[in-house]
């Protein structure tokens, strides 16, 4: 018998074991297989209602007042399959059960088959209705807490709960803190008195770790909202975990808010193509796909676990400048050594789908990123006291010894994972030889005296500065010695001397490759071989708002450099900028991108510059060149805060003369200082920027402000005022 109406939404739950005989529940109706119950708290006097509510609050057992239970015949444990806040909702669920399950149950004789039948039907229903919500979470406690959270605060089922903690509000009201994707909530019910706190994460201005019990216990967090309200939560036994979770979610919420604040459409979305004709077959196939029934959703892990893994992966990708497609699969401590090293270094070994990485314990002594497609051979070795050791021979014939510390089972798991990952990278190895032919360091080590034509516009139009004054030959000699000993391009190992060589200034012909290597763009260029040319070919003849804006800015891109006074230089810049606008139509093109691209093209080929620009926009300085410039705006707020704290007199001076620092300094950050100082100095800034990351922008900015402050404070007028 088929139901004439759809099952009620938000009522059925994944089957959960529970006790049928419970003193807090009354039976409303019953059948051969099912029982409908109502909580006693809904029909007793106010004193007992408050007492029961207090118990439920303390033990986090608050449930909706109605539920339906399936009674298993061969076990004493029953299964809760539906809950509801209203009698109407639970009666609709009961009617649906009668119409859809009773007939099937009567045809079965085995009690275990009956239970499997009900569990399968309800699981199928819930996974269809509640796809992507906490109702299909693997964690039963998350399902229960999320249901209580959504019902208490009237939150949509699509809002997922991240975590929940027992805590006290203002030190005296014991209850539960709920943290979801967009909200921070608190609920308490003590002897008839209800307390509800509801805060949107985007409205939180500050989050501070505090101490309670007169400063004796570090178990508290103070939340300050934009309206000035302060909320104090204590008795948090996982205070640091709570703080880190909230910070991660607040940052994500703020980024979404700023990203969506754009008042203009995405520039790459409006496209005109003179050669484009719509395909009726494609339109029909898209309509057919959109109308097709979605597959059933499996059980999903709790959002907390997903956030933890995402945070771990982002930290891993950011530290080693890896593509966003890489995920941390294995991690262990190990001792690393090569044939050139006098002693081994202890550190952390990490493995992703395509890369093996190492960083010393002090994060300074040594680090490397080894693409698995550059590995020639991996062997197990017996290394004295270490039975768990690997010897790796890379493409450049360097032998790396990794003595892995830990249990043998963990070592075997690591070996199995790296074996499978190496098999998956075989398809990339065939392209390695041709790719290395585009790397300047390969040709440099073969014949340092040979005139090598691998690089950017500087090879044709000259590099800025005097080669002799820059001591370019001497720097090149030092780099040759380093690369011969410690690998090059894809197999380079970074020791402290590497950072020193970068800081003293890179040789002109090697600069582009080191920028590409430090930023991680070299990895993207390798795995996306041919994509740059394909973008050019596929989008030939197309026009968008981005391409129109690019044409306006081409002749304003480093006009002092001779290449951009010629068609060759302008065409090179045009191709790189337009290719990126087609790669990322959501971002398209923004002013100042032309300045950055024209600068790096002096030292890089078109393809190198394209992927370096991609890394800049997507990872190093995300949001700088979007329509809302949310990344640059956030950094300007932080920079202004730094100036206020480090140089309060200068900050006060700017305030008095009505100069807004965030506006005055924005061009510095957008152009990476290329337009704010002589080119030779700007390229030295870029050397450090690609090696150390965006913090260099703040360091240089504070340095410039400090120089201005010294000049200002020494001037006679200001000395008199002070």
Q: What is the pLDDT of residues 678-709, one digit of tens each?
A: 999 999 999 999 999 999 999 999 888 877 77
Residue 16's alpha-carbon distances to 128, 138, 391, 419, in angstroms, are: 18, 12, 51, 41
Share of the chain above pLDDT 70, in %: 86
Lowest-pLDDT range, 132-146, 403-417, 440-454, 671-685?
132-146
Q: Both ends of the chain: CA-CA distance in Å? A: 91
Closest CA to 691 of 435, 437, 505, 443: 505
The residue-averaged pLDDT of 108-122 equals: 87
Q: What's residue 5's pLDDT?
A: 65
Q: How crowded is the C-beta side of 503, counted as CA atoms within 13 Å?
A: 7
Lowest-pLDDT range, 95-104, 613-622, 635-644, 709-718?
709-718
Burial class (CB in 10 A: 0-12, 13-18, 19+), 141: exposed
The residue-averaged pLDDT of 381-402 equals: 84
pLDDT tens figures, 46-70: 545 554 555 554 444 556 788 999 9
Average pLDDT of the chain?
84
Say yes or no to pLDDT of 617 above 90: yes
Query: Which strands sit side by side in the sheet containing 25-30, from one edge to the other?
Result: 12-18, 78-84, 66-70, 34-39, 25-30
Domain 445-620 classification at class level: mainly alpha
The residues that bridge with 79 in the sheet, in sequence order, are: 17, 70
Band of the pLDDT at 41, cuts 50, 70, 90? low
Band of the pLDDT at 301, cuts 50, 70, 90? confident
Say yes or no to pLDDT of 480 above 50: yes
Band of the pLDDT at 379, cuts 50, 70, 90? very high
Q: What's residue 662's pLDDT?
A: 81
- The one-character DSSP state at 125 is H
Q: What's residue 348's pLDDT?
A: 96
Say yes or no to pLDDT of 332 above 90: yes
The residue-averaged pLDDT of 437-441 equals: 93
Answer yes or no: same fold for 142-261 and 303-437: yes
257 or 669, greater pLDDT: 669
Rg, the chain, Cα only: 32
Alpha helices, H only, 39-177: 46-58, 87-100, 102-106, 111-129, 140-153
Say yes or no to pLDDT of 487 above 90: yes
Judge contact between 313 and 148, C-beta under 8 A. Answer: no
CB neighbour list of residue 428: distance below 8 Å, 6 or more residues apart = 354, 371, 373, 526, 527
Say yes or no to pLDDT of 179 above 50: yes
Lowest-pLDDT range, 398-407, 611-620, 644-653?
644-653
Tell me the CATH number of domain 142-261, given options 2.40.50.180, 2.30.29.30, 2.60.40.1930, 2.60.120.10: 2.30.29.30
Q: What's residue 280's pLDDT?
A: 44
Alpha helices, H only, 398-471: 408-424, 426-429, 432-436, 440-446, 458-461
Band of the pLDDT at 298, cuts 50, 70, 90? low
Superfamily of domain 630-715: Ypt/Rab-GAP domain of gyp1p, domain 3 (1.10.472.80)
> Domain ranges in the chain?
12-42+56-131, 142-261, 303-437, 445-620, 630-715
Say yes or no to pLDDT of 268 above 70: no
Band of the pLDDT at 658, cuts 50, 70, 90? confident
Band of the pLDDT at 650, cuts 50, 70, 90? confident
Lowest-pLDDT range, 31-40, 413-422, 694-703, 707-716?
707-716
Q: Are strands 386-394 and 375-383 parallel, antiparallel or unpaired?
A: antiparallel
Band of the pLDDT at 488, cuts 50, 70, 90? very high
Determine the Cα angle at 633 with ends 627 and 636, to 5°.
Answer: 150
In angstroms, rounded to a whole number, what is the distance separating the alpha carbons of residues 462 and 561?
A: 9
pLDDT tens figures, 446-455: 888 787 788 8
Closest CA to 306 of 321, 323, 324, 327: 327
Q: What's residue 213's pLDDT?
A: 67
Q: 476: part of which helix (H) or strand (E)?
A: helix 472-486
Residue 596's alpha-carbon distances to 619, 655, 682, in angstroms, are: 15, 31, 11
Judge contact between 89 and 7, C-beta under 8 A. Answer: no
Residue 715 backbone class (left: φ over 0; alpha: ψ -120 to 50; beta: rest): beta
Alpha helices, H only, 521-566: 521-527, 531-538, 545-553
Say yes or no to pLDDT of 293 above 60: no
- CATH code for the structural domain at 303-437: 2.30.29.30
Band of the pLDDT at 278, cuts 50, 70, 90? very low
Judge contact between 296 and 127, C-beta under 8 A. Answer: yes
Judge contact between 572 and 578, C-beta under 8 A. Answer: no
In angstroms, rounded to a whole number, what is the distance separating the alpha carbons of residues 381 and 390?
A: 6
In angstroms, rounded to a whole number, what is the distance separating the alpha carbons of residues 684 and 502?
A: 9
CA–centroid distance for 332 within its chain: 22
Highest-pLDDT range among 76-80, 259-263, 342-346 = 342-346
3-state secondary structure of 667: helix
689 or 112, greater pLDDT: 689
275 or 290, greater pLDDT: 275
Judge contact between 505 and 688, C-beta under 8 A. Answer: no
Lowest-pLDDT range, 16-25, 101-110, 323-332, 565-574?
16-25
Residue 608's alpha-carbon distances to 12, 303, 304, 429, 596, in angstroms, are: 55, 38, 38, 20, 13
In angstroms, rounded to a whole number, what is the distance separating the alpha carbons of residues 685 and 697?
A: 8
Share of the chain above pLDDT 90, in %: 48
């Amino acid at each position: 018998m088929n139901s004439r109406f759809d099952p009620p939404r938000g009522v059925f739950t994944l089957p959960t074991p529970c006790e049928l005989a419970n003193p807090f529940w009354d039976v409303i109706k019953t059948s051969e297989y099912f029982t409908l119950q109502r909580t006693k708290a809904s029909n007793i006097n106010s004193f007992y209602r408050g007492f029961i509510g207090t118990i439920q609050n303390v033990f986090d057992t608050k449930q909706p007042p109605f539920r339906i239970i399936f009674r298993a015949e061969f076990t004493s444990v029953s299964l809760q399959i539906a809950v509801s806040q209203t009698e109407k909702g639970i009666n609709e669920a009961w009617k649906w059960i009668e119409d859809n399950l009773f007939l099937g149950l009567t045809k079965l004789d085995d009690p275990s088959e009956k239970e499997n039948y009900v569990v399968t039907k309800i699981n199928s229903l819930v996974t269809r209705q509640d796809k992507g919500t906490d109702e299909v979470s693997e964690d039963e406690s998350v399902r229960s807490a999320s249901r209580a959270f959504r019902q208490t605060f009237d939150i949509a089922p699509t809002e997922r709960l991240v975590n929940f903690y027992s805590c006290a509000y203002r030190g005296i009201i014991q209850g539960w803190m709920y943290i979801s994707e967009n909200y921070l909530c608190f609920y308490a019910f003590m002897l008839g008195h209800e307390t509800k706190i509801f805060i949107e994460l985007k409205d939180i201005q500050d989050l501070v770790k505090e101490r309670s019990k007169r400063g004796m216990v570090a178990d508290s967090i103070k939340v300050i909202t934009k309206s000035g309200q302060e909320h104090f939560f204590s008795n948090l036994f996982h205070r640091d975990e709570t703080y880190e979770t909230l910070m991660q979610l607040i940052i994500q919420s703020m980024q979404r808010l700023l990203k969506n604040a754009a008042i203009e459409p995405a520039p790459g979305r409006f496209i005109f193509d003179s050669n484009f004709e719509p395909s009726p077959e494609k339109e029909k196939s898209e309509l057919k796909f959109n109308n097709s029934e979605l597959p059933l959703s499996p059980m999903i892990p709790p959002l907390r676990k997903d956030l933890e893994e995402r945070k771990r992966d982002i930290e891993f990708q950011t530290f080693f400048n890896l593509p966003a497609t890489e995920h941390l699969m294995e991690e262990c401590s190990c001792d690393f050594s090569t044939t050139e090293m006098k002693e081994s270094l202890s550190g952390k070994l990490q493995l992703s789908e395509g890369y093996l990485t190492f960083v010393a314990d002090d994060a300074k002594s040594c680090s490397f990123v080894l693409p698995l497609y550059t590995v020639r051979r991996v062997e197990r070795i017996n290394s004295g006291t270490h039975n768990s050791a690997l010897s790796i021979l890379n493409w450049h014939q360097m032998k790396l010894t990794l003595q892995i510390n830990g249990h043998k089972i963990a070592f075997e798991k690591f070996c199995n994972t790296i074996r499978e990952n190496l098999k998956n990278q075989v398809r990339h190895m065939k392209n390695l030889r041709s790719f290395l032919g585009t790397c300047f360091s390969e040709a440099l080590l073969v014949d340092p005296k040979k005139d090598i034509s691998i690089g950017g516009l500087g090879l044709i139009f000259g590099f800025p500065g005097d080669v002799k004054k820059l001591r370019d030959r001497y720097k090149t000699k030092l780099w040759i010695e380093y690369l011969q000993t410690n690998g090059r391009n894809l197999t380079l190992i970074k020791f402290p001397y590497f950072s020193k060589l970068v800081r003293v200034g890179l040789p002109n012909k090697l600069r582009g490759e080191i920028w590409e290597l430090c930023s991680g763009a070299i990895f993207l260029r390798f795995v996306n071989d041919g994509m740059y040319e394909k973008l050019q070919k596929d989008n030939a003849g197309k026009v968008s708002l981005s391409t129109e804006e690019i044409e306006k800015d081409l002749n304003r891109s480093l006009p002092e450099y001779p290449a951009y006074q010629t068609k060759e230089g302008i065409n090179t810049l045009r191709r790189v900028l337009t290719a990126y606008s087609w790669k990322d139509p959501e971002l398209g093109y923004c002013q100042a991108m032309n300045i950055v691209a024209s600068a790096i093209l002096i030292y890089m080929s078109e393809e190198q510059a394209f992927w370096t620009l991609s890394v800049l926009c997507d990872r190093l300085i995300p949001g700088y060149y979007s329509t809302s410039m949310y990344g640059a705006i956030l950094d300007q707020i932080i920079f202004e805060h730094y100036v206020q704290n480090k140089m309060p007199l200068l900050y006060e001076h700017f305030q008095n003369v009505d100069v807004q620092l965030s506006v005055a300094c924005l061009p510095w950050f957008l152009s990476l200082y290329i337009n704010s100082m002589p080119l030779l100095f700007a390229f030295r800034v870029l050397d450090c920027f690609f090696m150390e990351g965006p913090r260099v922008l703040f360091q240089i900015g504070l340095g410039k402000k400090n120089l201005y402050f010294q000049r200002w404070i020494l001037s006679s007028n200001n000395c008199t005022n002070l």
